[in-house]
Amino acid sequence: MVGGINVKKTENLSVGLTDEQLRAVVDVDPELVRIGYQVIEKQKQETFRQAWKNHWRAACWSIFLTSALFMEGYDTAVINSFFGLPAFLNSFGIKVNGKLTIPANYQSGLTNIAYVGQCIGLFINGYCQERFGSRKAFIGGMILMTATIFLAVFAVSLNMLLVAELAMGIPWGMFQTLSTAYAAEICPIQLRGYLNAFASVGYGGGSFISSGVLKACSTITGKLGWQIPYILQWVWPVPLALGCFFAPESAWWLARHERYEDAEKTIVRCAKPGFYAEREAAGFVAFMRHTDALEKIEAANGSWKEMFMGVNLRRTEIMMGVWMVQLWNGNIITGLTVEMLEDAGMSVAAAFNMNLVLSAMSIIGVAISWVALSRIGRRHIYIAGIVLEACCLLPIGILGSIPQTPTRLNAMGGLMIAINLLFHFSLGPVCYSIVGELPASRLRSRSIVLGRFVYLVSAIIGTQLRARMIAADSWNWQEKSAYFWLGCNLICLTWTFFRLPETGGFSFAELDILFANKVPTRKFKQYKIKDEVAEIGVDLSEKQNIEHMEDVNVELMDETEREEVAAHEPVPGARPNVLV
């Protein structure tokens, strides 16, 4: 204790480059690295308004590519709501107790087969995005999307529809992670979380559009009643593919592929004219090379195997956990709202009206999350969302034991709306903010792919369970299924509290330093990060001289040589490595 201050504790809250990271410093002009570090620090000091004003071009391109997720959000909502659509039931339904219904196996199958296709698409993107870049991968996915829609429009049986959903799932899987990795790399720090969260607007907005389309089609009894929603999907691919042709490639991707001049041009292009002073864009690229050098310690090849080695193992575990929590928190119960409300006694028109309101909450929730992201950390929003959803799941389960009344139906519909609002305020958008920032840059696209793959596997299991919980010809739990999801919710809460760190407000290099030093989960924001190579500049040749002179016997030197060694010796405490 000095003057009432615990000196040791203060020192413990500071971390810097590890010895391995210092040895990995790349041979780049140290002055340029220092300039790049200053550019990053300026980004961190910007307000949202300033960041948007300075980097609105990058933000708009990020939004443009992320809008591809409207297609997946649209179709996922369409296929789930088809099970309560009269036109679809007339074409494909069977009678159970005098009422047309889609068998539980097909209900889960039509949803899950799309997940299988998405898994295939994920791994295609994991290779293509890092090999060919985001632009080429995106355009290729759009071409494939245009072709696969034909299968759904002209399906004549549930089995043919299964094939169509499988085929369409492949390009959807590509877009799911491509846009997240692209947004994380092209946007400045203060916009990164917001633009990654926009992915949730894509899913929610697509769901909202589908709800409006389905409501309009709910009175059409012929096959056009279910074909029109599929036909409308052709609106998206052509304009998105053409627009992407003019989009800038990620500067981080260009730097990883040693296209440094192109990376510098992209940085300048994505900012307002004249924003970067002389050498600042070049310094930013030098800082990217510095970050890439730090990550080569644990990810020299950027391979799938390296995600499970060294400090990357912890990052991979968190990546998979964040994605799984997004599904198993209980929000999945809202996926069959229309069918559940109809089975509980609500009219078709009223059920679809409720579904429209439910979908609108997706957009409203994301807007609220943007406000929260500017004031609250990602970790705290995630925890709050899980807790609040638990408070809605419990009363839904209780309502399942109460006799059917109009008040009960309205209360259940209101709770479904509340869950969807809470999800899209918290876990829905913030998941994308976290997973875009969490991985090492060299592993970003593959790591997000793996996490999303785990999510899809969970979704296959979850939708199988959900369909059986709701279907009249299966378990028929209805609202009581909320008790099951409440239990899953509490497990998610426990994991999140102990394993999810705060990732917002850090540069990619700073996150590398935090993970390399094994900083405890709940203390990420408490540590001061010192990247002395970037802050003051370290000449690689001088560093090598220092390493060489460590083995020299100083006693055998003359006075001049000793003075030279002393001049190169590091100042004690100047390099804060792992502190316990």
Is the pLDDT at 567 greater than 70? The verdict is no
The Cα–Cα gap between 459 and 233 comes to: 23
Any idea where the domains of the chain sit in the sequence? 7-33+516-568, 46-247+299-505
Sole residue written with tokens 């029109």: 228
* E strand or H helix at 215: helix 189-217
Predicted confidence (pLDDT) at residue 82 exceeds the cutoff of 50: yes
What integer pLDDT is reported at residue 49 of this predicted model? 93
CATH 2.160.10.10 fits 46-247+299-505, yes or no: no
| Residue 338: per-residue pLDDT | 65
**Higher pLDDT, residue 177 or 554:** 177
| Most confident option among 176-190, 196-210, 395-409, 553-567 | 176-190
**pLDDT over 90 for what percent of the chain?**
53
- Using the predicted structure, report yes or no on whether residue 557 has a pLDDT greater than 80: no
List Cα–Cα distances, 42 to 46, 142, 260, 333, 531, in angstroms: 7, 37, 22, 44, 16
- d(CA 37, CA 42) in angstroms, rounded, equals 9
Angle in degrees, CA 407, 409, 412, rounded to 5: 110
Handedness of CA 194, 198, 199, 200 (dihedral sign): positive
Token readout for 306 is: 């390296």
Tell me what pLDDT residue 309 has. 92
pTM (two decimals): 0.83
pLDDT number for residue 564 = 44
Task: Give the model confidence (pLDDT) of 322-369 as tens digits.
Answer: 999 999 999 888 876 666 666 666 777 777 777 778 778 888 898 899
Which of these ranges, 59-63, 205-209, 256-260, 264-268, has the smallest mean pLDDT?
Answer: 205-209
Q: Flag whether pLDDT at 57 surpasses 80.
A: yes
Predicted confidence band at 578 (pLDDT cuts at 50, 70, 90)?
very low
Please report the pLDDT score of residue 336 as a whole number: 64
Q: How far is CA 371 from CA 194, 260, 384, 437, in A?
A: 9, 36, 15, 19
Average pLDDT over residues 493-502: 97
Give the model confidence (pLDDT) of 192-222 as tens digits: 999 999 998 888 788 888 878 888 888 887 8
Pairing state between β 528-530 and 94-96: unpaired
pLDDT band at 548 (very low <50, low <70, confident <90, very high): very low
| Matching residue, tokens 């500017």 | 374
| 110 or 259: which leads in pLDDT | 259
Q: Are 82 and 228 in contact (CB under 8 A)?
A: no
Please tell me the predicted confidence (pLDDT) of residue 146. Answer: 93
Percent of the chain with pLDDT over 70: 88
How confident is the model at residue 487, as a pLDDT?
Answer: 96
pLDDT band at 545 (very low <50, low <70, confident <90, very high): very low
Q: Which residues pair with 94 in a beta bridge?
A: 101
Higher pLDDT, 307 or 558: 307
Q: How far apart are CA 146 and CA 233, in angstroms?
A: 9
Handedness of CA 252, 254, 259, 262 (dihedral sign): negative
Average predicted confidence (pLDDT) for the chain? 85
Q: Which residues contact 522 (CB under 8 A, 6 or more apart)?
A: 501
Name the nearest CA neighbour of 172 among 124, 235, 105, 108: 124
Span 378-406, average pLDDT: 91
Per-residue pLDDT for 404 more than 80?
no
Question: How far apart are alpha carbons 286 and 298 in whole angstroms?
Answer: 20
Residue 33 · residue 290 · CB < 8 Å: yes
Least confident of 125-129, 164-168, 295-299, 559-563: 559-563
Assess contact for 24 and 32: CB atoms under 8 A.
no
Q: Is the pLDDT of residue 421 over 70?
A: yes
Pick the range with the lowest mean pLDDT from 227-231, 345-349, 525-529: 345-349
So what's the pLDDT on residue 551?
41
Contact residues for 386 (Cβ-Cβ < 8 A; gap 6+) = 325, 329, 426, 427, 489, 492, 493, 496
Q: Dump the DSSP string for 345-374.
A: T--HHHHHHHHHHHHHHHHHHHHHHHHHHT
Give the model's pLDDT for residue 257.
94
| pLDDT at residue 39, rounded to an integer | 94
**Per-residue pLDDT for 251 more than 80?**
yes
Q: Which helix (H) or strand (E) segment is 94 a member of? A: strand 94-96
**For 263, what's the count of Cα atoms within 13 Å in the CB-facing half-sphere?**
22
Q: Is 10 exposed, middle or buried (0-12, 13-18, 19+ CB in 10 A)?
A: exposed
